Amino acid sequence: MRKGKGKAYGTFGELAQGEVAGQPFLFTLPVPWGSRVVFVPRSSTDLRTNRPHKKKMLRAAERTMQHLGKRTGGFLSVHSRLPESKGMASSSADITAAVRAVASSLETNLTDGEIAAIAAEVEPTDGVMYRGISAVNQQTGQLIRSYPVPPDLLLIGYDSGGKVNTEKYGLSKREYSLQERREMQEIFTDMDAALTSNDHNTIMSTSTRSAMLNERFLPKPFFSLFHELAEKHHGGVVVGHSGTVIGILLCQKEAAWKEKARLIEQAVHERTGWKPIIKASIPEAN
């Protein structure tokens, strides 16, 4: 055994989330912030970490050893830029990075699917272990679709305030109307087609539709402002469907995207006093 390292990006909410044919789905929106974990094996049998409240990460390390049929104690050191309880996949990134660090220490390569299955045993998981954007069943970690090459979009992201227990909220059962179920089916179909064909406008408009549908379950302050600005500047609204984050997507292929971003930031600050917590393009690798 040796010292092992692992890392994983977080997300900014979801491009879309819902349920089709009784099965949950979400489309990830990766961001270039994440978690890095170093695992140092020790002769003792206990597992410890520099962040004691991150118990899910320890459970993930234990599950990884069980999966590999090996056991050792050790120390997990995690460093993360992701805020917690906001809908930015901080737990999923910690868990994925921890699994990768332990597997590296044990000189074993796990597939993304194996990592997802281990993560889902700990809690519902975002698809942060998959490359690029992915559509996943968050309850099982199963990959539904993969889009390795991300669209050329800029995210201007904000935190609307407060905290959400994303694990408990994600496990709660939502009761959808027939119309909402039809809309979610269309959202899934349209987002899948748009990501496959790299149709920026449809990606953004479909993200807005999913955000609007989510307003009945977890409304965001100033949602109407973000919706208005997205329409005015031909962008899209993106939210944490089980978190507090809200943002606007812009296509960076448009000549005026930098000016649009400036105007959006100015308008949001004037109305809310908020400043972006993140402003970034979608990363490809993870």
| Domain presence at residue 103 | yes
- The structure tokens listed for 117 are 């299955």
Domain end: 123, 145, 167, which one?
Answer: 145
| Domain presence at residue 256 | yes
Percent of the chain clearing pLDDT 90 (strictly above): 88
| pLDDT value, residue 167 | 59
How many Cβ atoms are within 10 Å of 274's Cβ, its own excluded?
A: 16
How sure is the predictor about 165, in pLDDT bands with cuts at 50, 70 and 90?
Answer: low
Residues 90 and 188 in one domain: no
Residues 232 and 164 in one domain: yes
How sure is the predictor about 261, in pLDDT bands with cuts at 50, 70 and 90?
Answer: very high
Whether residue 168 is predicted with pLDDT greater than 80 in this model: the reply is: no
Residues 14 and 111 in one domain: yes
Collapsing DSSP states into helix, strand and coil, what is residue 8? strand
Residues 118 and 99 in one domain: yes
* Bridge partners, residue 39, by sequence: 4, 76
| Domain presence at residue 173 | yes
Mean pLDDT, residues 270-284: 95
Domain end: 98, 115, 145, which one?
Answer: 145
| Domain presence at residue 286 | no
Residues 247 and 213 in one domain: yes
Residues 249 and 140 in one domain: no
Please give the Cα distance from 29 to 79 (Å, whole number): 21
- The structure tokens listed for 269 are 């600050």
* Bridge partners, residue 232, by sequence: none
Residues 156 and 262 in one domain: yes
Considering only CA atoms, which of 200, 197, 196 is closest in space to residue 249?
200
**For residue range 191-215, what is the model confidence (pLDDT) as tens digits?**
999 999 999 999 999 999 999 999 9
Phi, psi of 260 (to 5 degrees): -60, -45
Mean pLDDT, residues 231-246: 97
Whether residue 170 is predicted with pLDDT greater than 60 in this model: the reply is: no
| Domain presence at residue 227 | yes
pTM of the model: 0.93
| pLDDT value, residue 220 | 97
**For residue range 98-151, what is the model confidence (pLDDT) as tens digits?**
999 999 999 999 999 999 999 999 999 999 999 999 999 999 999 999 998 899
Give me the CATH number covering residue 174: 3.30.70.890
Please give the Cα distance from 146 to 28 (Å, whole number): 10
118-153 core/surface letters (b: 16 or more CB in 10 A; e: else): bbbbbbbbbbbbbbbbbbbbbeebbbbbebeebbeb
CA-to-CA dists, residue 39 to 18, 78, 99, 144, angstroms: 35, 9, 10, 31
Residues 16 and 120 in one domain: yes
Q: Give the mean pLDDT of the chain.
A: 94
- The structure tokens listed for 203 are 């990606």
Give me the CATH number covering residue 27: 3.30.230.10
Whether residue 71 is predicted with pLDDT greater than 90 in this model: the reply is: no
| pLDDT value, residue 133 | 96
Whether residue 92 is predicted with pLDDT greater than 60 in this model: the reply is: yes
Residues 132 and 166 in one domain: no
| pLDDT value, residue 248 | 98
Domain end: 94, 117, 145, which one?
Answer: 145
**For residue range 26-35, what is the model confidence (pLDDT) as tens digits?**
999 999 999 9
- The structure tokens listed for 80 are 């993360």
Residues 120 and 250 in one domain: no
| Domain presence at residue 195 | yes
| pLDDT value, residue 213 | 97
- The structure tokens listed for 225 are 């402002």
- Tell me how many domains the chain contains: 2
Whether residue 169 is predicted with pLDDT greater than 70 in this model: the reply is: no
Residues 103 and 190 in one domain: no
Residues 187 and 244 in one domain: yes
Whether residue 57 is predicted with pLDDT greater than 90 in this model: the reply is: yes
| Domain presence at residue 166 | yes
Domain containing 160: what range? Answer: 148-281
| Domain presence at residue 271 | yes
